[in-house]
């Protein structure tokens, strides 16, 4: 039942409600069969973007192309039922008066698929989402996770060009969320549908997606694969939204780099490609290491004297707070759980150049 999805392209897409700009000049090319997440805090314009793709909302500006055909613009909008897209909502929205099998068959009936073929396809999909034993049950006789599987089966049985999911797991408890996440990923591998997945949960986006679109206030902050987003965030917003980080002020004066009042080794500024003046870098807590006193001469990264001011044991790590040099600036440091350093210890922190990300905004 393998099939290829479609190419989707959003060009200068905007949506204004009254005088409020909910989506602001969004540009995105989604490749055939790609799994893309729209990730950002509540209110950043994810649902509005998804609803424009589905055809429920007409854009104020810009357009949407599906396989190079314009399906949405401020002038024209192809109705949702003519887009061959399926959308899954946070509330499962399965029909309570139909059995599981009838729910899944409904879209096929609408599309004029013969009874025989519909029967075969429904059975096949129900087996894929592990609901074959429950085909004759009504939604009220199912758990939340099972209802969400019905919604999934109903969405994929029609072989959509594009599958749209709006926070589909947020009503499930944590264990089930993790299981369904894996399930969605497996089905995507099987069907290779072009998929747009909306979520405010970074780990959900990281596990499922080929690429993640990070949004804030209606705008795209960065589009990248999960590793690049984490390792090379381009903005302050992305660095702090994806995982935990420290922002550190740095000062470049000619060839000299000064961090927390401490002059660094000669070519530090050049290594970090920092320009003259005051700037900011992002350093992840686990990229710091505490140095033994005799190792203070390292030149392949920054060395900053510090004092441990707080610590907490997290099982998988020790999390420290360390005050830098003679300043009031503190950083979070996360180490191996076997490295226990007492509060009050005066030591030094080291971070390799390769783990330091200059922040440009
Ligand atoms: N129909 C509407 N009328 C007015 N404002 C809206 C409407 N729909 C959404 N908004 C506003 O647009 C912004 C983006 O909403 P939404 O796309 O739902 O965000 P998200 O899905 O990222 O949480 C929010 O501030 C929301 O209040
Ligand atoms: Mg939303």
Residues 247-265 pLDDT 10s: 999 999 888 899 998 888 8
Same domain, 229 and 248: no
In the structure, ligand 2 is a single-atom ion and the residues with CB under 5 Å from it are 47
User: What span, in angstroms and rounded, lies between the C-alpha atoms of 264 and 270?
Assistant: 11
- Report if pTM > 0.85: yes
| Structure confidence at residue 304 (pLDDT) | 93
Same domain, 33 and 67: yes
Residue nearest to atom 16 of ligand 1 (CA): 45
DSSP states of 126-137:
HHHTT-GGGTT-
| Structure confidence at residue 230 (pLDDT) | 96
- Residues listed for the chain: 361
Residues of the chain with pLDDT under 50: 1-3
- The 3-state DSSP class for residue 359 equals strand
Domain end call among 185, 205, 233: 233
| Structure confidence at residue 3 (pLDDT) | 44
User: What span, in angstroms and rounded, lies between the C-alpha atoms of 309 and 238?
Assistant: 28
Residue 104 lies in a domain: yes
Instruction: Decide whether any atom of ligand 1 lies within 6 Å of the 63 Cβ.
Output: no
Instruction: Decide whether any atom of ligand 1 lies within 6 Å of the 43 Cβ.
Output: yes
| Structure confidence at residue 239 (pLDDT) | 95
Residue nearest to atom 11 of ligand 1 (CA): 22
DSSP states of 276-324:
SEEEEEEE-GGG-EEEPGGGTT--SEEEEEEEEEEEEE-SS-EEEEEEE
Same domain, 58 and 151: yes
* Mutation probe of ligand 1 site: the residue of 16, 17, 87 with most atoms within 8 A of C-beta: 17
Domain CATH code at residue 147? 3.40.50.300
Same domain, 183 and 255: no
Domain end call among 233, 266, 299: 233
Same domain, 202 and 344: no
If 0-12 CB within 10 Å is exposed, 13-18 middle and 19+ buried, where does residue 47 land? buried
Residue 239 lies in a domain: no
Residue 25 lies in a domain: yes
Same domain, 90 and 211: yes
* Mutation probe of ligand 1 site: the residue of 14, 20, 22 with most atoms within 8 A of C-beta: 22
Q: Which atom of ligand 1 is nearest to the CA of 48?
A: 17
Domain CATH code at residue 342? 2.40.50.140
| Structure confidence at residue 346 (pLDDT) | 93
| Structure confidence at residue 1 (pLDDT) | 37
Nearest to 203 by CA among 235, 177, 184: 177
Same domain, 190 and 111: yes
Q: Is 167 left (phi over 0), alpha (psi -120 to 50) or beta?
A: left
> What are 324's strand-pairing partners?
306
Same domain, 268 and 351: yes
Tell me how far the alpha carbon of residue 228 is from its chain's centroid: 12
Q: How many A from CA of 220 to the centre of ligand 1?
A: 16
| Structure confidence at residue 208 (pLDDT) | 94
Residue 273 lies in a domain: yes
| Structure confidence at residue 23 (pLDDT) | 98
For strands 246-253 and 277-283, give the pairing: antiparallel
Residue nearest to atom 8 of ligand 1 (CA): 48
Supply the Cα-derived Rg of the chain in whole angstroms.
25
Domain end call among 179, 206, 233: 233
Same domain, 17 and 150: yes
Same domain, 112 and 179: yes
User: What span, in angstroms and rounded, lies between the C-alpha atoms of 169 and 178?
Assistant: 9
Same domain, 67 and 107: yes
Query: Helix %, strand %, coil % for the chain, to 5?
Result: 30, 35, 35
Residue 1 lies in a domain: no
User: Which residue matches tokens 């854009």?
Assistant: 59
Domain boundaries, position 316: 244-359
Tell me if 308 sits within 8 A of 341, measured CB to CB: yes
Same domain, 258 and 279: yes
User: Which residue matches tokens 């429950």?
Assistant: 134
How many domains, the chain?
A: 2
């Amino acid at each position: 039942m393998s099939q290829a999805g479609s190419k989707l392209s959003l060009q200068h897409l905007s949506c204004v409600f009254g005088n409020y700009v909910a989506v602001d000049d969004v540009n995105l090319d989604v490749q055939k069969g790609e799994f893309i997440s729209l990730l950002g805090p509540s209110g950043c314009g994810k649902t509005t973007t998804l609803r424009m793709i589905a055809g429920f909302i007409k854009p104020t500006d810009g357009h949407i192309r599906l396989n190079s055909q314009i399906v949405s613009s401020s002038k024209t909008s192809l109705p949702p039922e003519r887009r061959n897209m399926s959308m899954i909502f946070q509330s499962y929205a399965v029909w309570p008066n139909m059995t599981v099998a009838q729910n899944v068959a409904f879209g096929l009936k609408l599309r004029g698929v013969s009874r025989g073929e519909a029967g075969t396809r429904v059975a096949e999909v129900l087996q894929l989402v592990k609901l074959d034993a429950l085909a004759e049950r009504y939604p009220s006789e199912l758990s939340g996770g099972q209802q969400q599987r019905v919604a999934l089966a109903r969405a994929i049985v029609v072989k959509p060009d594009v599958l749209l999911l709006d926070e589909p797991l947020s009503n499930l408890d944590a264990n089930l969320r993790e299981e369904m996440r894996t399930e969605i990923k497996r089905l995507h591998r099987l069907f290779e549908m072009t998929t747009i997945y909306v979520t405010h949960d970074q780990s959900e986006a990281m596990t499922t997606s080929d690429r993640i679109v990070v949004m804030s206030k209606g705008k795209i902050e960065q589009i990248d694969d999960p590793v690049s987003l984490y390792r090379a965030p381009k903005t302050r917003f992305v660095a702090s939204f994806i995982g935990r980080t420290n922002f550190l002020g740095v000062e470049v004066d000619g060839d000299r780099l000064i961090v927390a009042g401490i002059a660094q080794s000669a070519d530090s500024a050049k290594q970090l490609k920092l320009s003259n003046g005051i700037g900011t870098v992002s350093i992840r807590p686990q990229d710091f290491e505490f140095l033994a006193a005799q190792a203070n001469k390292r030149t392949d990264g920054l060395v900053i004297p510090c004092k441990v001011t707080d610590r907490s044991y997290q099982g998988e790590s020790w999390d420290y707070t360390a005050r830098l040099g003679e300043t009031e600036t503190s950083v979070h440091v996360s180490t191996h759980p076997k490295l226990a350093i007492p509060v009050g210890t005066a030591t030094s922190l080291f971070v390799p150049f390769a783990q330091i990300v200059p922040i440009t905004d």
